[in-house]
Amino acid sequence: MPRAKAEALEMIKQLPDDVTTAVILEELFFKQQVEKGLQDVTEGRVLTQQELKERIARWRKSAGR
- What does the pLDDT average to over 48-61? 96
Summary mean pLDDT of the chain: 95
Report the pLDDT value the prediction gives residue 64, as an integer from 0 to 100. Answer: 85
The pLDDT of residue 65 is 76
Q: Which DSSP category does 63 fall into?
A: T
Per-residue pLDDT at 32 exceeds 90:
yes
Query: For residue 36, is pLDDT > 90?
Result: yes
Average pLDDT over residues 35-56: 97
pLDDT at 1: 77
Give the domain extent around 24.
3-62
Q: What's the domain count of the chain?
A: 1
- Do 52 and 64 form a contact (C-beta atoms < 8 A)? no
Widest distance between CA atoms in the chain: 51
